[in-house]
Amino acid sequence: MEYQHNTVANYADMGNGNRLHYHDVGSGDPVIFLHGGGQGAGGWTNWQRNLQVFADAGYRAIAPDAFGYGLSSKPADGNFDFQTLVDCLVKLLDQLGLKQVTLVGNSMGGAMAIRFAQDFPQRVKKLVVMGPGGIGPMERYLAMPAIQKLKELGQEEGGFSKDKLRRFLEYMAYSNDDVTDQLVDERYEVACTQPPRVFQTLSIDDLRPRLHLLKTLPTMVLWGRDDRACPVESGMEILQECDNARLIVFSQCGHWVQYEKADLFNRLCLDFLQE
């Protein structure tokens, strides 16, 4: 498929004719950037203000598109549950020969990063999460204003449209200035290729019972005070179980710390990685 607003980078074979798309820039210690969910989400749209900065600082910055997202495979009858997304991440890292990495994850990607660190603690050097999912049952997230807004837009006449996507993205960010025409075009182009099952089969596990497995892992938790998708109060639940963690909350910031506060996010993360 040819894309007008998205750039094709690299592909890894996931088996059964499926592929995982990923951006890979720079060289050095690998940092894996895991994006959030929602219509049109992908590695580039989440991390376009960060990847090159990390590459310029001497890191190998890798941003995969999760199975069913970005430019990765999206079979109409596919299973896009949380376990499948994590399994694909494991396959990608194995194919790239990456034995130990730093994980940076936002929202759904934050939950994937935590789950990976719980399952493979020896493979994670440091962990950075922004407004992660999985800190509580799915019901907690389904009750958040962002999900209610998504339902409201879905009930409007006319079906899915670029205008509705823009209105949802503006609800996710604190400032509408961050929802650029470029971002809407990139995500809408991808959203039009996503089958309903991508969202129908996703249910993120409650990761709290195993948070103690991250007790000594160097962890940084970043959150927007005005996050309407993931409750900022959940940050303290991570700190209660993790003894080598810090929590930083940004005022006038919504769900995408790495995008809305990109310069500060980049500095904080690079300092954390270099400690």
Q: Using CA atoms, how far apart are residues 235 and 107, in angstroms rounded to an integer?
A: 12
Q: In what order do the strands lie in the sheet with 10-15?
A: 10-15, 18-25, 59-64, 29-34, 101-106, 124-130, 219-224, 245-250
Give me the torsion for CA of 89, 126, 254, 139, rounded to 10°: 60
Which residue has 């006038």 as its token pair?
A: 252
- The half-sphere exposure of 137 on its side-chain side, counting CA atoms within 13 A, is 2
Q: Using CA atoms, how far apart are residues 28 and 258, in angstroms rounded to an integer?
A: 21
Which residue has 């962890």 as its token pair?
A: 219
Q: Which residues are catalytic?
A: 255
DSSP alpha helices (H): ranges in the chain?
Answer: 43-47, 51-56, 82-95, 108-119, 138-142, 145-155, 162-172, 181-191, 197-200, 234-241, 257-260, 262-274
* Residue (of 15, 22, 212, 196) closest to 109 by Cα position: 22
